[in-house]
Every structure is written in C-alpha cells, then in structure tokens.
Structure 1
C-alpha cells in the first residue's frame, strides 16, 4: 500500500499553531494539563515547545501535573534519549 501522507520535517509553526495546543483535550478522563503538555512535547521542536510552555503557564496551567500512572511529563521526557532540552525547559517552568 502506498502512504497517503508524507512526513513533514522542520515545519515552521506560527504562534497561532503553537497556541492551538492549549485546546487539545484527552479522549478519556486523563488530566487536561498533562495531556496537552505531553501532546505538545510529542509534536513540537524544542523552540516551539518552549514557546508553548510560555502560553501554557500564562493560561494558569500546571506543568507538574501527573498522568494516570502518577508520572509527570518531566519524568517521561527525562527517560527519552533526545529529551534533555525539553526536560530543562520543563524544570525552568517549575515542573
């Protein structure tokens, strides 16, 4: 089967696109702040994630919130091979 969508690398994100992640909601009863922060980490480059975190904090959101397993996004990111920069951004934000 042929792939119907090409993977986009180094896409330029506008502030509006980054800010749109503040409206991301879980499909289950997961914590909203945890879900949107994790999805932002999974979707964004470091610079976009740093900008998102500014919007996230300005919106009164909690960077230290936990998922269903009791782990924070910082704990999850810290386990990833390429997560060091993201982890540092989260630490600076008080996660």
Structure 2
C-alpha cells in the first residue's frame, strides 16, 4: 500500500496533561516502590519537556522523588549513568532528588 503524499508524518506532538498523568497510575511490580516505578516508567517513555511536567504532577500528589528501587538506587542515581541525560538530571535535582 502506497503512502499518501498529502499526509505528513507527525512526530513528537505535544502530550496533553491527561496523557502525562497516566504515568502516575502504573502499578508496580511485586516488591517495587510505587513512586520509583512510575518515575522510571515516565523517564523511559517521556521527552524531556513532558518528563518535567510529569515531575510537577508527581510532586503535586506528594510523592517521593527520592524513592528507591530494590537495590537502593534512586532514579537520579540511575539517570546519572546514561549518556545525554543532563536535562533529566537537572529536572530531578530541581525537584529535590
């Protein structure tokens, strides 16, 4: 099937607040901290600007930005080991991680 020439591919449309807030409700795996779980899911899936909005919603709910995984690592600990993660590190640090 041929692609229509009059249709442009749209990449990276801005997410709505409702789409971002969906990440606040992901249930954790057994033994995993719920706050850490949603932070990690959001970090893996969202663009920087959307992750920043997610963190604001996360904190509005009074959730723990310093939550840890079963190995005792925070999301900030994990993100620091990733290349090109400076914007995410800055967001987490501003949030008190």
SS of the residue 2:43 aligns to: helix
Moved over 6 A (4+): none
Structure showing greater radius of gyration is 2
2:94 equivalent in structure 1:
92
Q: Is the 8 A contact 2:32 2:70 kept in 1?
A: yes
What residue in structure 2 maps to residue 5 of structure 1? none
Q: How many residues align?
A: 88
Post-superposition offset of 1:11:
4.1
Q: State the match for 1:61 in structure 2.
A: 63
1:40 counterpart SS class = helix
Deviations for 1:12-53, whole angstroms, at most 9, x for unmatched residues?
Answer: 311100011110111322000000000000000000000000
Tell me if 1:78 matches 2:80: yes
- TM-score for both structures, normalised by structure 2: 0.85
Give TM-score scaled by structure 1 length. Answer: 0.87
Alignment of 1:37 with 2:39, yes or no, is yes
